[in-house]
Each structure stands twice: as structure tokens, then as C-alpha cells.
Amino acid sequence: MKILLADDSKTNLAFTTNCLIKLGHEVIPVTSGLQALEAFKQTPPDLVILDVVMEGVNGFETAKKIREVNTKNWIPIIFLSANVDDESIKEGIDAGGDDYITKPFSETTLASKIKAMQRIADMRQELIDTSNQLERLSSIDTLTGLYNRFQFERSLAQVIAASERHNRLMGLMFIDLDNFKLINDTFGHHMGDLLLIEVATRLKNCLRTEDFIARIGGDEFTVFFSDVESAENIGQVAQKMLDMLSIDFYLEKHNIRIGASIGIACFPSHGTTKENLLKHADMAMYHAKAMGRNNYQYFNEELNDKYRQHINIEYALKFALERNEMSLTYQPIYDITRHIIVGLEVLACWDHQKYGLVSPSIFIPIAEETGMITTIGNWVLRNACEQAKKWNLDQYENFKIAINLSSHQLLQKDFFEMVVDILNYTQLAPHSLELELTETIIMGHRTDVFKNVINKLHNFGISIAIDDFGTGYSSLTRLKHLSIDTLKIDQSFVQDVMTDPNSAIIVNCLIALGKNLGLKVIAEGIETEEQLNFLKSIDCLYGQGYLFSKPINAENMDVFLKKLMLTKEND
């Protein structure tokens, strides 16, 4: 067995380790609760033995934390303690422990206790295997009561065969909830489960009894319609589902809003095999996501082309940096009341010999999917800082160069150290750098890790901005706990302020909110004088957009800045 052993007394640790090795076990010895937790996260052992009395995090607290990080399978925990009274037994079992060994102990006691634990662990594993097997054999998804993936695939094969025989039109629908992961991470798995159950009920209510609905994965549902008159009928059902899901869910005193993206593929026009139909419905679903979520799309041959294009771009992107195809463009950010430049946003730009200029909105998501974003992002960071130093931007107190970051970059182990390195190397002052993170990154998963890095960067003097603000699922209380300096209001709201009263209200609220939190607020994507005037009228102080300037390459920015400096000197 692989045994994780924590004891802060080095002598005891050596003694027990020796015993365990003699008994033929593999041991990971550590000297504190925190180390035990780290080691546990890295490679989950088969058994944990914890000394109860330890400096810092004691054995009970360590057990509790282990149970928190590992909820899926139960790894047995045994406590070592010199005095085992009623109260501590209760506390230990409540903390998630399984047994006690009283110190001092003999090798025989240790061996027997481990044997007993092994027996229980084996039985538990057997139970898990059997229940998994049962689920495979059964046809029902235990959470929602809908059919499960196995049954779905079996039935789909049958219905395709029948449709072929009877020359019937059949439709397949692929439904994926939008931002489900975010809700799961924000409110916890329990709420996620409740939501899935509610969603399943609402979806089912949109169907006839002969339609077949299944949950085939976390937040993925599939439906097939065995005999339909036309493809349009399926679209109507999809719209009905979207309408039903757009009504707020009220779960345990929380109002939760969710949307879905739906892809549709029909037999025989979009595919004649199970694999093809599923793949095409899935592609159509991804297309719906790309179209801004919360909508439905039919499969079409163009999507196949897009898919191929995606693969080509993914391949070409691998060589973009080494072939010098990447460059940076800079979009000025203005103090809109005084009409002076207060910063530049750096945007990556890719010019490929065959595909021409590829927009970041196309290649950044691909770079994120494939993990290439860390290399590209780090390159952007280094180059932008070098350029900013060349332009001497840090001689101005309130001037910032703003760089977009992706979540993958923040998750790099030494991200903070790397940024510090770049600043040292380029000699750029930290106050000149602003890092933009999207709201979804900050509010999404791994918040603890992000919070940590964000705080470090902030304390070092670097500004932190939340990008595309208003589009994510933010909770104000969480915003308050982060070291943020700037909010960038998403351009979709700014562009609609004159035509959509809702957008105007939202922008107004976001600006008030930013002010309340003491943040700098920048409106993105200002294209017209009317929008600018409206923003000024509601006390928005900063903005960027085509009305002022499009992103400009380094050469032209050079000229632009020189002119600017000249006018400054002449002032």
C-alpha cells in the first residue's frame, strides 16, 4: 500500500516509517499537516496516517481538509495519539478519520490496523465498481431520471435503422448549458445538481412522450425525434426549450439564470450514421456557442469547412512565433473629459502568409484550447514591456500599458516571478503596467489561486483591470475581496446605449458600481459622438474605441506618440 504518514516528531516519524517499510508498504513521510495536504493532492495514497498533536495544522484539521479536497473516493485515515479519550475519539471520527492507534504501539498492532483498513477499502472499491457497472447496465441517469448515455446510443442506433427502413425523417438535438461550470464553481456542486434536475424537468416538458431525451454528460443533454415532418419542427422545439430555460431558476434562496446552446442534425440530410449525426449535432452546438450562446443552430456543410479551417489555423499557429508572424498593435485609452491619452491597450496581431490577417478573436481561443496561449501570452508581455520602455512611457505617472491575460497564464507556476523578471529586464516601472483579466476568469474556477497571484501583482504596484465587465456572472461581494483597480465595461453594452434602454441602464449601474468601489471605469468600443456624449453625461471618465482610434502598429504609434510629446512640450 502507498501510505502517507504525517508526524512532526522526527524520531517518531522515522520509527513508524521503518515499521511500515518493513511491513512491505511504500511510505510518503511528511512532518506537518500542510505538507500532508500538499502530498495528498499531488499523489493520493491508499491510506493516511496522521499524528493528532502537531504544530500548526493538527491531525484532525488535516483530516478535515483532506476530506474536503477528496470527495470522490474515501481514502482511509488512521490517527496516532498518546491519549485516546471519548471526546477525542468523537472529534477524530467527526473530522473524517476511520480508526485510532494509541501511542506507543507495537508493529503487530500497526500491521493489524492497516490490514483491517485494507479490507474495508477493498470492499468499498468493490461496491463502487459494482455500482458503476450497474449504472452502465441500467438505462437511467440517476441524478435526473432521464436516460443515460449508454441507453441513448443504443436507442439512437435502433431509430436510425428504423428511419432508414421506413424512409422517415429523424432529428437529433445536442443541448449544452451555457456557463454551467461557473455556477457549479460559484455555488457548489450541490446547487449544480439541483439545477440539472430542474433543467431536466423543464426540457422534458417541452417534448412529446415519443421523443427520447437523455443526459449524456455533466451538463449535456441529447434528444432525438424519431418521426418528424420537417427540420423546422425541431427548431421550434429548440426555441421552446430556450424560452423555458431562460426563466430564472429559484434554488435554495438563490436566483440563478442560465442559458443553453443547441445544435441540430437531421437524418438523412446531415448524416446517416450514429457517429456522423452525433458529431454534426455537436458541431452545430459549438456553432451556437460561437454565435453568442443561448440560441440554436442547424448543422450545415459550412460548419465542416469551419472545422477544417479551425484545424488548419491550429496547426499554423504553432509556427507563428518562430516565423515572426506575430506583432503587437496598440489602441489608445482616453481620459474622455479632457481628451488626453492615459494608456495603450496591447492587442496581439497575426499575419499569416496564406491566411492573411487572422483576428485575435479567432486565434486566441484556439491558442487557449491548445495551451499555446502561455507561450504567445508571455511573448506579448515581454515585447509590450520592452516597447513601453522604448517609448519611455513610465515617465508619466498615470500612463499605463494594458495587456490582456488568459487564465492559463495566471495558472503558470511562476507567473508572478516571470512578470517581475520582465519588469527588471526591461526596467519598466510596475506602475506603468496594467493586466486585463476577463470577468469570467476572476469569477470562475480556481478563484483561490487567481486571488493569490492577483494580490501579489497588485501589491507589487501593477494595476489589475477586469475586462469585458458586465458579460460574466459576477458577485459583488467577491469583487470587493479582490485587489482590482479598473473595470472595463464591455463594448456590447456601450454600442447599444443609444438604441437599447436596458444597455443604457446597465452602463449607468456599472459606472456607479465602479465608483462606489473606488475603481477607474473605462468604457470600451465607443464608436460615435452620441455614445461619447451619453457616457460623459453619466460621469464616465475613461474610454476607448474606434471614435478615438483603431489599434495601431508600433511604427505608426511611434510617430503618433512623438507628435503627442511635441504638443505636450509646446503646451
Q: What residue ranges bind Ca ion (CB under 5 A)?
A: 404, 436, 467-468, 524
Residue closest to 40 by CA, chosen among 6, 78, 79, 80: 6
| Alpha carbon distance 556, 344 (integer Å) | 13
Q: Which of 380, 388, 462, 497 binds ligand C2E (CB under 6 A)?
A: 380
Q: If binding is defined by CB under 6 A, does position 444 make contact with ligand C2E?
A: no
Q: Which of residues 98 and 524 has its CB atom nearest to Ca ion in the complex?
A: 524
- Residue 499 within binding range of ligand C2E, rule CB under 6 A: no
Which of 51, 394, 439, 467 touches ligand C2E by CB under 6 A?
467
> CA 386 to CA 393: how far, in whole Å?
10
How far is the C-alpha of 308 from the C-alpha of 302, rounded, in Å?
10
From 58-66, 181-189, 398-406, 455-463, give the range in contact with ligand C2E by CB under 6 A.
Answer: 398-406
Q: Least Å distance between CB 446 and ligand C2E?
A: 16
Binding window for ligand C2E (CB under 6 A); candidates: 155-163, 218-226, 257-265, 544-552: 544-552
**Would you call 404 helix, strand, or coil by DSSP?**
strand
CA angle 203, 281, 287 (to 5 degrees): 95
Residue 468 within binding range of ligand C2E, rule CB under 6 A: yes
Which residue matches cell numbers 488512521? 78
Subset of 294-353 contacting ligand C2E (CB under 6 A): 331, 347-348
Beta carbons of 24 and 67 less than 8 angstroms apart: no
Is 405 an interacting residue with respect to ligand C2E (CB under 6 A)? yes
- Report the residue closest to ligand C2E, judged by CB: 545
State which residue, 76 or 377, has the beta carbon closest to Ca ion: 377
Query: How many Cα neighbours within 13 Å face the side chain of 162?
Result: 10
Contact 514, 479 (CB under 8 A): no
Choose among ligand C2E, Ca ion, none what residue 206 binds, the Cβ cut-off being 5 to 8 Å by kind. none
- The cell for 290 is 460561437
Q: For residue 119, with 0-12 CB atoms within 10 Å meaning exposed, 13-18 middle and 19 or more buried, which class applies?
A: exposed
Position 383 contacts ligand C2E (CB under 6 A):
no
| Smallest distance from Ca ion to CB 291, Å | 19
Residues contacting residue 115 through CB under 8 Å, at least 6 positions apart: none
Task: Rank residues 151 and 491 by Cβ distance to ligand C2E and give the closer one.
Answer: 491
Residue keyed to cell 506583432: 327
CB of 316 to ligand C2E, least distance (A): 17
| Nine-digit cell string for 410 | 495566471
Give the binding range for ligand C2E (CB under 6 A) out of 113-121, 147-155, 200-208, 354-362.
354-362
434 sits near ligand C2E (criterion: CB under 6 A) = no
Strands 259-267 and 170-178: antiparallel
Residue 322 CB, shortest distance to ligand C2E, in Å, is 17
**CA 19/CA 25 separation, integer angstroms:** 9
| 266, 364, 442, 484: residue in contact with ligand C2E (rule CB under 6 A) | 364
The C-alpha cell that represents 569 in the structure block: 512640450
Q: Residues in the site for ligand C2E, rule: CB under 6 A?
A: 331, 347-348, 359-361, 364, 377, 380, 404-406, 467-468, 491, 525-527, 544-546, 551
